[in-house]
Amino acid sequence: MTSYAKISQVAHYAPKQIVHNADLAAMMDTSDEWIASRTGIRQRHIVQDQQTSDLATKVAARLLEKSQLPAEAIDFIIVATITPDSSMPSTAAKVQAAIGAHKAFAYDLSAACSGFVFALATAEKLLASGHYQKGIVIGAEVLSKTVDWADRTTAVLFGDGAGGVLLEASMQPHFLAESLHTDGSRGRSLTSGGQGLHSPFSAKEENDLYLKMDGRAIFEFAIRDVTKSIGQFIRDSQLTTDDIDLFLMHQANYRILDKMAQKLGVPLEKFPANMMEYGNTSAASIPILLSECVEAGKIQLDGSQTILMTGFGGGLTWGSLILKI
Ligand code: ACO
């Protein structure tokens, strides 16, 4: 029997502490006007004492509560993150333990701001295999620990948060098409979390832990390459932009959304945005947006809408899914 996957529940969580642009202007040479006009960002949520697994666990617990499922019903947990608590155990393994999902296997997936889209595409294959019935996919980040707070060119852009979905096996197809890409040759334009060689047998390297970004190169990559890829993907899927009800894009910068919408010839109203409140939360940005759209009644989760989801960022990676949701 053919099996498919569908998103049956959504949830998100953001740390309570809010850092406004004015708070950053008191710490570094920047201003609310510069940040808001260049990026659309007005504030971001920043952890005080929580780790990525704490945020992801809140989301997983909310998903179980909303769907009234016992934790034992979950077959797998994937956490997309570039800011795991540690290399091992994985963030997903910590979530598995915290919610008591004893039957679930769990692992992290690292694809930066495309992480949630890549993880969702992977999870769909697990459910389509017919071996599993229910899985949780979460995007969770604590980017505040990888940002260099002395570098105004990146510190103002990022925030912390988590969002996720419960996926269930379905008799009807809901994942209509996918298009996933990586260009590792351009990876140097966005880096973080470097781990230098530190053994008596190796030449020592400097650690490169902080997030570093060639902002202009990433901006152009998003506007030119990612937008072209979305247009081609829609055509390859024998659809037009009119067939797409909502475009859920990675929330990096409002100007990027605006230019994408213009280039694709789509009204900006079809591009919901929340980077004003959260900043760029990398792998968490799309699931937080999805969850907020459901809360606001823009998405009903009744299979009546067609949405396009696109992540893009470090790797470089970019990827889109078209979903009946
Ligand atoms: N406050 C005030 N001034 C600033 C700040 C700041 N926070 N940051 C930079 N400036 C200054 C610069 O020093 C520069 O000054 P100068 O002209 O005297 O040299 C001036 O502002 C202009 O700097 P630019 O870098 O040219 O500014 P730009 O208009 O390109 O905007 C930005 C920068 C917002 C980063 C933009 O390039 C961008 O959005 N890039 C894409 C980022 C992105 O989408 N990342 C997504 C992927 S992230 C991920 O995958 C984890």
pLDDT tens digits, 35-68: 999 999 999 999 999 999 999 999 999 999 999 9
Q: Give the global pTM.
A: 0.96
Mean pLDDT over 185-201 rounds to 89
User: d(Cα 80, Cα 137) in Å, to the nearest integer?
Assistant: 8
- In this prediction, residue 201 has a pLDDT band, given cuts at 50, 70 and 90, of confident
Mean pLDDT over 1-14 rounds to 91
293 is catalytic: no
Among 12, 113, 174, 293, the active-site one is 113
CATH superfamily of 4-172: Thiolase/Chalcone synthase (3.40.47.10)
Q: Does 258 score more than 60 pLDDT?
A: yes
Nearest CA to ligand 1 atom 3: 30
Mean pLDDT over 191-196 rounds to 89
Is 215 touching ligand 1 by the criterion CB < 6 Å?
yes
111: which 2 tokens?
């694809």
pLDDT tens digits, 291-312: 999 999 999 999 999 999 999 9
pLDDT tens digits, 128-166: 999 999 999 999 999 999 999 999 999 999 999 999 999
Fold match between domain 4-172 and domain 176-324: yes
Q: Does 101 score more than 70 pLDDT?
A: yes
- In this prediction, residue 207 has a pLDDT band, given cuts at 50, 70 and 90, of low
Q: What residue segments make up the domains of the chain, in order of their start?
A: 4-172, 176-324
Inter-axis angle of helices 52-67 and 91-99, to 10 degrees? Answer: 40
According to the CATH classification, is domain 176-324 in 3.40.47.10?
yes
- In this prediction, residue 12 has a pLDDT band, given cuts at 50, 70 and 90, of very high
Q: Does 209 score more than 90 pLDDT?
A: no
Nearest CA to ligand 1 atom 20: 153
Mean pLDDT over 216-237 rounds to 97
Question: How is 269-284 classified by DSSP, letter by letter?
Answer: GGS---HHHH-B-GGG
Distance 183 CA to ligand 1 centre (A): 22
Long-range contacts from 124-132, C-beta under 8 angstroms, 24+ separation: 124/5, 124/167, 124/175, 126/75, 126/76, 127/3, 127/4, 127/5, 127/167, 127/168, 127/169, 127/170, 128/2, 128/3, 128/4, 128/5, 129/3, 130/1, 130/3, 130/169, 131/75, 132/75, 132/76, 132/169
Q: What residue type is assigned to position 107 of the chain?
A: Y
Is 173 touching ligand 1 by the criterion CB < 6 Å?
no
Mean pLDDT over 233-254 rounds to 98
Return the best residue to mutate from 19, 219, 226, 317 for the ligand 1 pocket (most ligand atoms within 8 A of CB).
219
- In this prediction, residue 203 has a pLDDT band, given cuts at 50, 70 and 90, of confident
